[in-house]
A and B are shown apart, each in its own frame.
Chain A
Amino acid sequence: MLFSSCEDVTYQLDNEFDPENLNLNPPTIFFHPSQFESIKVGNSNTLELYCYDVQNAAGAHLQIEFDAEIISIDTVLHGEFFKNGVNSPILFTDQEDGFLNVYLFLQPTIGTSDASGTMSMAKLIFTVQDEGLAPIRYTSRTTIRDKSNNSIQLNQYGEALINAVY
C-alpha cells in the first residue's frame, strides 16, 4: 500500500439538467426540461416549472404563455416545493387564449410557513396538436410571494421550446 498509488479524483459537473449549467442567475424560475427536440403530434409529455434557489416562498402565481395552436395543456399537478411535509399545496389554475395561470399556496403548519430551495413547483402535462416550434415562457405577471405577501425578487425567467413534428 505504501508504494501503490491511489487514484486521484477527476470529475466534470456537466449534467445538462444541473441548474448551475443553465446560465441562470438565482433566485429564478425555469422550465425543465428547457427543450423538447421532437415530439410527434398527438403525443403527450411533461414539463416542470422549477424554482432555483428561491428563499422563503409561501405562494406563487405563475403565468405561462404558450402557442395554443401547437400544444394544449391537459393537466397541471403540484410539485414538491410548496409541500409543507404533510399537506399538499393549494393549487388552482385557469387558461385562456394561450395563457395558463397557475396559483400555488403553501398550507402553513406550526413548524412550516414557507419553502426554500430548488425544486419543482408544478408539472404540466401537455399534448401536441400541430407541428411547429412552440416556445413557452413565463410572463411578467408571474410572481412569487413570501408569507407576508411581499414579492420575492426573481432575477430571470426561463424559457422552454417544444419542437412538434408529424
Chain B
Amino acid sequence: MYYFSKTYTPFRIYLTIALLSFIVNEHVFSAEKIDWKDKALQTGNRLAVLDFSAKGISDPMRDILTEQFRQNIKKLKIYEVLDASMTNQVEIFYPGEKIYGECKSKGCILELGRLLKVNYVVAGTIIEKDKEYFVNGKMYSMDLEQEVQGFSIENVSEIDSIRLEMKKLSYNVSGLEVPDTISIEASSEVLSYVTKVKEQEKMPWIRLPKISKKVRSLMYSTVVPGAGQVYSKRAYTGLGFFGAEIIIGSLALLAHSNYQKSWGGFQETYKSYQIEDDPGKLIQLRPDIVRYANDTKKHNDFLKGLRILGASIWSINMLHAYIVAPDDIFVNTGNLGNFSDAESKSKLTTWDILSGFGLRGLIIRPVFKGSSLSSYSPYTDAGLLITTPIGLYFGSVFTSLTYEMSNYSFTSSGFEDQVEGSSQTTALNFDLTNKIPFGGNSIKKYAFLGRSNYSDGTGYLIGGDLVYNISTFPLSFALSSRANMVNTQSLGSTMWVSLGVNVGIKIP
C-alpha cells in the first residue's frame, strides 16, 4: 500500500547517498569531495514543498493535499517549511520543461530550490486513475544537488485515505517514526476553500474577474506585439515580434510616404487634366496621370501586402503569447510511463516528407546600383524564398538547395522610364552558423549563391541571411542581403545590391 525508501535522519541519508554514489559513480564522489562532518554541521533545514503536479484530480483538491502535506511537515518542526505563498512566488521556465510553470526535471527543481534559498525541495505528482490515487515524490538536497529520498503511495481508493497516507508521509520525510494513533482532522481546508468561494460569490461586483496569465499575456501582445512574450519571460522572442512589427511599420511608413508623393502627383496632374483645354498640354498630362496612377497603385498594393504581413505576424504573436504564457495550473504532461498512451510511429507520414522545408516572404530594396542604373530610383519589392532540407554536409557546413523568386523595379527620376521584372534563382544555401561565432546558434548565418533567370536575361545572385529562429514556434525573422549581377536586354551588364527582411516558417 505504502512504500518509503528509508526512514533515516538527514545525516544518515547523506551517508547512505554518498555510499551509493561511490558504488554507482566514482566520478561523482571524487568531484564533490564533501567533508561529511562539516557539511552536516553547515546544512540548514529550510524546506520547500512545491505544488504537486496533478492528473485526474481537481486543482483545488491538488492544492489542498499539497498544502496539508506542507503543514504536516511544518507541524513536525524538523524543517523550516516555506509557506505556499513564498514557494509559489518563484516561477521559472526551465529548458526541457514543456509547459511554463511545470517544474518536474531535476535541473528545474534544483534551480527553483536555489532561487527559494532552501536546503531541501520536495516535489511530486498526484494521480487519480479508476478511482484510485497514486502519489510519487522525491526530496532533493540542495547541498548535495541530488535526490535524497523517494516516496510513493499507490492504490489508495478514498480521498481521506490519501490524506492519511500523506500525513504519514510527512513523518517519513521528516525522519520521524509514524505514530500508531495518527488520524486526520476534519477537512478544514476543504471547508475553508468552500467558505472562500462563497465569500467571493457574495461580492462578485467588487472584485474584477481574475485574469489568467495566459489571457493576460494574450492581452499584452494584442496591445503591443511581443509584450506578452516578455511578460512570459520570453524576452528575445518578444523582442523578435516587436522588432518585426517595427520593421514592417518602418517599411509601411516608407511605402506610405512614396504613396503620398505619387498620390499628390496624381491628384495635381489629374486636376490639371480635368480643367485644361489645351490639347497640347492634355496630351502631355495623359501619360503623367497614367504613370502616377500606376505608381500609386504599386505603393498601395505594397502597403496592403505589408498590412497583411503585419497583421499575420501580429496574430501569430498573439497566439504565441497565449501558448507560451505561464499557466495558472500545473498540467501533467505525463512523464509516468504507466499512463502514457503515445502510439508508436512506424509509418512515414506526409509531415515527415515535408519536414525541413521552409517558406519565407521577402521584402527587399536595392541600396546600391551599377552605372547603367545610376539615373534610376529603386522601389521596394517583394519576393519568396523556399528552403529545402535537400543538401550535403561539407565538413560542418550544411549546404542545401534553395529557390528564390523576387521582383525588381526601378524608375527614372522623372518617371519617364521604368525597368521592372522578376528573377527566379536556384541557389545553394551554405549554413555557416558553426563557422561564424557571432550570435551563437540562436542566429543562423547563411551564405547564398545561385544562378538567376531574369525577365529578359540571366545573371548570378550572391547573398547572405542572418536568421533568428523562434525556439517555440517554427517562425523565423531574417535580415537579407543580395547582390544581383545581371546581363539583360534592357539593362545590359549591370548589378545592384539589395537589403531586406524576411519572415518565414519552417516545417519542424
A20 at the interface (CB under 8 A from B): yes
* B299: A residues at CB distance < 8 A: 6
Map CB proximity to A onto B254-277 as digits: 1 under 8 Å, 0 otherwise: 001001000100100010011011
Of the candidates A8, A9, A11, A17, the one whose C-beta lies within 8 Å of that of B279 is: A17
Pairwise interchain contact A13-B286, C-beta atoms closer than 8 A = yes
Pairwise interchain contact A52-B311, C-beta atoms closer than 8 A = no
Of the candidates A6, A8, A32, the one whose C-beta lies within 8 Å of that of B256 is: A6
Of the candidates B263, B266, B283, B303, the one whose C-beta lies within 8 Å of that of A18 is: B283
Pairwise interchain contact A18-B282, C-beta atoms closer than 8 A = yes
In the assembled complex, the Cα of A5 lies from the Cα of B307 at a distance in Å of 9
- Evaluate whether A15 and B276 lie within 8 angstroms (CB atoms) in the complex, with A2-B311, A6-B256, A7-B263 already known: yes
Pairwise interchain contact B307-A17, C-beta atoms closer than 8 A = no
How far in angstroms is the closest Cβ of chain A from B264? 12
Pairwise interchain contact B293-A11, C-beta atoms closer than 8 A = yes
Q: Which of B248, B256, B277, B282 has the most CB of A within 10 A?
A: B282
- Evaluate whether A2 and B248 lie within 8 angstroms (CB atoms) in the complex, with A11-B293, A17-B282, A19-B282 already known: yes
A63 at the interface (CB under 8 A from B): no
Pairwise interchain contact B274-A15, C-beta atoms closer than 8 A = yes
A110 at the interface (CB under 8 A from B): no
In the assembled complex, the Cα of A33 lies from the Cα of B277 at a distance in Å of 9
For A80, give the chain B residue with the smallest CB separation: B280
B306 at the interface (CB under 8 A from A): yes
Pairwise interchain contact A11-B259, C-beta atoms closer than 8 A = no
Pairwise interchain contact A15-B256, C-beta atoms closer than 8 A = no
Pairwise interchain contact A118-B283, C-beta atoms closer than 8 A = yes
Pairwise interchain contact B303-A6, C-beta atoms closer than 8 A = yes
* B166: A residues at CB distance < 8 A: none
How far in angstroms is the closest Cβ of chain B from A82? 13
In the assembled complex, the Cα of A53 lies from the Cα of B290 at a distance in Å of 19
Pairwise interchain contact B259-A6, C-beta atoms closer than 8 A = yes
Of the candidates B273, B292, B300, B307, the one whose C-beta lies within 8 Å of that of A15 is: B273
Pairwise interchain contact A1-B253, C-beta atoms closer than 8 A = yes
A100 at the interface (CB under 8 A from B): no
How far in angstroms is the closest Cβ of chain B from A14? 9
Pairwise interchain contact A17-B286, C-beta atoms closer than 8 A = no
For A22, give the chain B residue with the smallest CB separation: B279
Q: Which of B259, B276, B279, B303 has the most CB of A within 10 A?
A: B279
Pairwise interchain contact B273-A13, C-beta atoms closer than 8 A = yes
How far in angstroms is the closest Cβ of chain B from A165? 22
For B309, give the chain A residue with the smallest CB separation: A2
Pairwise interchain contact A2-B282, C-beta atoms closer than 8 A = no
* A18: B residues at CB distance < 8 A: 273, 279, 282-283, 286
Chain A residues 100 to 140 lying within 8 A of chain B, measured CB to CB, are 117-120
For A19, give the chain B residue with the smallest CB separation: B279
A50 at the interface (CB under 8 A from B): yes
Pairwise interchain contact A9-B293, C-beta atoms closer than 8 A = yes
Q: Which of A11, A19, A32, A52 has the most CB of B within 10 A?
A: A11
Chain A residues 3 to 52 lying within 8 A of chain B, measured CB to CB, are 3, 5-9, 11, 13, 15, 17-20, 32-33, 50, 52
Pairwise interchain contact B293-A2, C-beta atoms closer than 8 A = no
Pairwise interchain contact B266-A9, C-beta atoms closer than 8 A = yes
Q: Which of A2, A19, A33, A120 has the most CB of B within 10 A?
A: A2
Q: Which of A1, A8, A50, A119 has the most CB of B within 10 A?
A: A1
Pairwise interchain contact B286-A119, C-beta atoms closer than 8 A = no
* A3: B residues at CB distance < 8 A: 307, 311
Map CB proximity to B onto A65-99 as digits: 1 under 8 Å, 0 otherwise: 00000000000000010000000000000000000
In the assembled complex, the Cα of A32 lies from the Cα of B279 at a distance in Å of 8
For B259, give the chain A residue with the smallest CB separation: A6
Pairwise interchain contact B273-A119, C-beta atoms closer than 8 A = no
In the assembled complex, the Cα of A118 lies from the Cα of B266 at a distance in Å of 22
Known: A2-B249, A6-B299, A15-B274. 15 other contacts (CB 8 A): A2-B311, A6-B259, A7-B300, A9-B292, A15-B276, A17-B276, A18-B273, A19-B279, A19-B283, A50-B279, A53-B283, A80-B280, A117-B280, A118-B280, A119-B280
In the A-B complex, the 6 residue pairs with the closest CB atoms: A119-B280, A18-B282, A9-B293, A118-B283, A2-B310, A6-B300
Contact surface of B with A, Cβ cutoff 8 Å: 248-249, 252-253, 256, 259, 263, 266, 270, 273-274, 276-280, 282-284, 286, 289-290, 292-293, 296-297, 299-300, 303-304, 306-307, 310-311
Can you name 16 A-B residue pairings with CB atoms under 8 Å? A1-B249, A2-B248, A2-B249, A6-B299, A6-B303, A9-B292, A15-B274, A15-B276, A17-B276, A17-B277, A19-B279, A33-B277, A50-B279, A53-B283, A117-B280, A119-B280
